[in-house]
Amino acid sequence: MVRRRRMVRNYDPDRPVPPEIRDRLLEHARRAPSAGFSQGWAFLVLEEPADRDRFWAAATPRTEVWTTWLHGMRRAPLIIVPHSNKDEYLDRYAQPDKGWTDRDESRWPVPYWDIDAGFASLLMLLTAVDEGLGACFFGIPPERIPVYRAEFEVPDAFTPIGAVSVGYRADDHRSGSLRRGHRSADEVVHRGHWSV
Ligand SMILES: Cc1cc2nc3c(=O)[nH]c(=O)nc-3n(C[C@H](O)[C@H](O)[C@H](O)COP(=O)(O)O)c2cc1C
C-alpha cells in the first residue's frame, strides 16, 4: 500500500466517493498518533459542488500555473481540509501529568500540532489507496488562508495545514517533481554516526 501510494491530481468527476469510504478516511484520520494524545485536529469535509467551488475560489490563486493544476484537481468529488490547533496542545501539556504550565512554546522541539495533523493526513492518503481511490495532499498558500478561514468561518485557533483531494483516479500527468527520483538509502540513512 505504501509503495502504491502517489499523489493523484486528476479524478473521474462522475464517480463520487461512497459515504462509507469517506467515513473510513475520517475514522482513520482520528486514529493517528498525537503528542500527549492531544488530538488537536479538526477536519472540514467538502462534498457539495457549491462548497467545493467556494474552496477552490478561496484557497487557490488565479495564476496560470495554478489554473493548469486546478483543471484536474477541481474534479475531485471530495476535499478534506485538516486543521491543527496549537492551543489544544499548549492546554494539554499544561495539565498535571505534563506540567508545562507556562505554555512556553520554546519547549516544543517542533510544532507537534502540525505534525499530528500531517500524520492524520497521511493515514487518509493510505486509506484512499486501500479503497482503490486516489488522493493528493496539497498546500494552501499563506495569503489565501485568511480568505479560506473567512469563507468557511473557521475559528482563528485552527490552521489548515493543507488540504486533501480524494476521488477515483483519471488519467493523470506525472508531477515534474518526480524527475528528482527517490533518494537512495545511502543519501539519507546514516548508520552509527553521521557519514557524508
Ligand atoms: C507537505 C506537502 C505539501 C505538498 N504540496 C503540494 C502542492 O501544493 N501541490 C501538489 O500538487 N502536490 C503537493 N505535494 C505532493 C508532492 O509533490 C509529492 O508528494 C511528491 O512530488 C512525491 O510524489 P508522490 O507523493 O506521488 O510519491 C505536497 C506534499 C507534501 C508532503
137 CA from centroid of ligand 1 (Å): 6
What pLDDT is recorded for position 50?
98
Residue 11 makes CB contacts below 8 A (sequence gap 6+) with 72, 73, 75, 76, 77, 134, 165, 167, 168, 169, 170
Give the Cα separation of 167 and 78 in Å (integer). 6
Confidence (pLDDT) at 174: 76
Predicted pLDDT of residue 175 = 82
Mean pLDDT of the chain: 96
Mean pLDDT of 92-97: 97
Question: Hey, which of 175, 178, 179, 182 would you mutate to test ligand 1's pocket, going by the most ligand atoms within 8 Å of its Cβ?
Answer: 175
- pLDDT per residue as tens digits for the range 167-196: 999 988 778 888 889 999 999 999 999 976
Q: What is the pTM of this model?
A: 0.96
- Going by alpha carbons, the residue nearest to atom 19 of ligand 1 is 7
**Band of the pLDDT at 22, cuts 50, 70, 90?**
very high
How far is residue 78's CA from residue 152's CA, in Å, rounded to a whole number? 16
Atom of ligand 1 nearest to the CA of 175: 21
Mean pLDDT of 142-155: 98
